[in-house]
């Protein structure tokens, strides 16, 4: 059990930089291993009435947290591929990895939130084209990040590089690539080809269970066998919505709203559920939270839940 790592997704919306920094530094001083942010340009799924509220740009936030902390790994769950050219993503990722002294993880997905594309004038292609673009972006990102500093030429259908350097590149080891999504046919195959980390997203509506995780991992391993990838190279993680509370009614309402099997209830109940995933062999658990960025809540998770595994 000692080998499992713990992180948390911290809100980048409807909050202030001072609040984000306070949570990050609380986590950095405790038992947490990583901190994660989503990537949206308006607060997602909250309606136009809150669009004028804060939505911090994800890479800027990662760089700032890299300076404000010392040990936490920093990443996104996940960057939207349609917002930035992947060549630019690689360039910023290398910069953030150096700013944080090698603590950055590049998490990226195909993008899904129509409203922000409308707001900022970005194309929102069909799901198939977004998947095509995403797969090509992951291939390009791996080619330029995992290349020992050599220049890269890449000629794809949507993206290209022409004798492109990446400097600064990765600070030490190549920046790991987390491929967002667990679609069985395309996304998990893209992960087998170009990624380093699988993340089961508990916000996606199917709840959270060891059985669901095993289903996804088995499919991933089949793709790995098909493409000649060693599956042990890929880290298995899950973003688990979590409500730590002694209020049984609130816990039940949370599970009904978010999905079956999500983490809820007392610290001991949550720890018991986490133990099931650890017994399966999960590498890292990221806690998800809805609500304000309250350092005391993250401290309580640390003291009452994470401490049971350290």
pLDDT band at 260 (very low <50, low <70, confident <90, very high): confident
| Range name among 123-127, 146-150, 175-179 with the lowest pLDDT average | 146-150
Which residue(s) pair with 263 in the sheet? 242
Cβ proximity of 213 and 277 under 8 Å: yes
How far apart are the C-alpha atoms of 212 and 229, rounded to whole Å?
22
pLDDT of residue 252: 93
Cβ proximity of 192 and 223 under 8 Å: yes
pLDDT of residue 21: 99
Q: 307 or 149: whose pLDDT is higher?
A: 307
Q: What is the pLDDT of residues 38-62, one digit of tens each?
A: 999 999 877 888 999 999 999 999 9
pLDDT at residue 144 greater than cutoff 90: yes
pLDDT at residue 2 greater than cutoff 80: no
Summarize the confidence of residues 216-220 as an average pLDDT. 98
Summarize the confidence of residues 292-307 as an average pLDDT. 96
Cβ proximity of 10 and 293 under 8 Å: yes
pLDDT of residue 49: 86
**261 phi and psi, to 5 degrees?**
85, 0
pLDDT at residue 206 greater than cutoff 80: no
CATH number at residue 48: 3.20.20.30
pLDDT of residue 101: 99
| Range name among 18-32, 191-205, 217-231 with the lowest pLDDT average | 191-205
* Parallel, antiparallel or unpaired: strands 160-164 and 152-155: antiparallel
Summarize the confidence of residues 257-276 as an average pLDDT. 94
Q: How many CB atoms lie within 10 A of CB 285?
A: 24
Q: What is the pLDDT of residues 170-196, one digit of tens each?
A: 999 999 999 999 999 999 999 999 999
Q: Which residues of 226-242 are buried (b: 16+ CB within 10 A; e: fewer)?
A: eeebeeeebbbbbbbbb
As a whole number, the mean pLDDT across the chain is: 96
The number of distinct structural domains making up the chain is 1
3-state secondary structure of 57: coil
Summarize the confidence of residues 242-266 as an average pLDDT. 92
Q: Which long-range contacts link 113-120 to residues 24+ away (Cβ below 8 Å)?
A: 113/40, 113/44, 113/45, 113/80, 115/42, 115/44, 116/40, 116/41, 116/42, 116/44, 117/82, 119/41, 119/42, 119/51, 120/41
pLDDT of residue 9: 98
Summarize the confidence of residues 65-89 as an average pLDDT. 99
3-state secondary structure of 160: strand
Environment class of residue 224 by beta-carbon count within 10 Å: exposed (0-12), middle (13-18) or buried (19+)?
Answer: buried
pLDDT of residue 305: 98
pLDDT band at 259 (very low <50, low <70, confident <90, very high): confident
| Contacts with 180 (C-beta within 8 Å, 6 or more apart), sequence order | 77, 78, 79, 107, 108, 109, 110, 187, 199, 201
Q: Where in the sequence is the domain holding 156, given as residue range(s)?
A: 5-309
Summarize the confidence of residues 201-225 as an average pLDDT. 93
Instruction: Look at the alpha carbons of 67, 71, 77, 80 in this order and tell me if their dihedral is positive or negative.
Output: positive
pLDDT at residue 1 greater than cutoff 70: no
Question: Could you tell me how many residues make up the chain?
Answer: 310
pLDDT at residue 291 greater than cutoff 80: no
C-alpha distances in Å from residue 196, one per residue of 86, 95, 178, 180, 229: 17, 20, 6, 11, 11
3-state secondary structure of 140: helix
3-state secondary structure of 306: helix
pLDDT of residue 243: 95
pLDDT band at 30 (very low <50, low <70, confident <90, very high): very high
């Amino acid at each position: 059990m000692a080998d499992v790592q713990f992180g948390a997704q911290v809100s980048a919306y409807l909050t202030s930089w001072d609040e984000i920094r306070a949570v990050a530094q609380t986590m950095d001083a405790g038992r947490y291993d990583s901190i994660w942010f989503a990537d949206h340009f308006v607060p997602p799924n909250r309606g136009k009435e809150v669009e004028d509220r804060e939505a911090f740009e994800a890479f800027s936030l990662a760089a700032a947290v890299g300076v404000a902390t010392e040990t936490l790994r920093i990443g996104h769950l996940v960057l939207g591929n349609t917002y930035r050219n992947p060549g630019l993503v690689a360039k910023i990722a290398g910069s953030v990895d150096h700013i944080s002294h090698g603590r950055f993880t590049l998490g990226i997905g195909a993008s899904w939130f129509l409203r922000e594309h409308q707001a900022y004038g970005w194309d929102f292609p069909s799901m198939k084209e977004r998947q095509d673009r995403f797969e090509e972006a992951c291939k390009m990102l791996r080619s330029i990040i995992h290349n020992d500093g050599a220049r890269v030429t890449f000629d794809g259908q949507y993206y290209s590089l022409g004798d492109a350097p990446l400097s600064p590149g990765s600070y030490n080891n190549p920046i790991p690539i987390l491929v967002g999504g667990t679609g069985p046919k395309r996304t998990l195959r893209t992960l087998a080809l170009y990624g380093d980390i699988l993340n089961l997203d508990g916000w996606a509506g199917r709840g959270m269970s060891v059985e669901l995780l095993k289903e996804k991992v088995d499919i991933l391993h089949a793709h790995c066998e098909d493409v000649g990838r060693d599956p042990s190279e890929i880290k298995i993680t899950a973003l688990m919505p979590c409500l730590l509370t002694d209020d049984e009614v609130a816990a039940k309402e949370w599970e009904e709203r978010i999905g079956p099997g999500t983490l809820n209830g007392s610290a001991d109940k949550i720890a018991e559920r986490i133990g099931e995933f650890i017994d399966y062999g999960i590498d890292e658990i990221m806690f998800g939270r809805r609500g304000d960025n309250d350092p005391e809540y993250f401290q309580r998770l640390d003291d009452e839940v994470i401490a049971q595994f350290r």
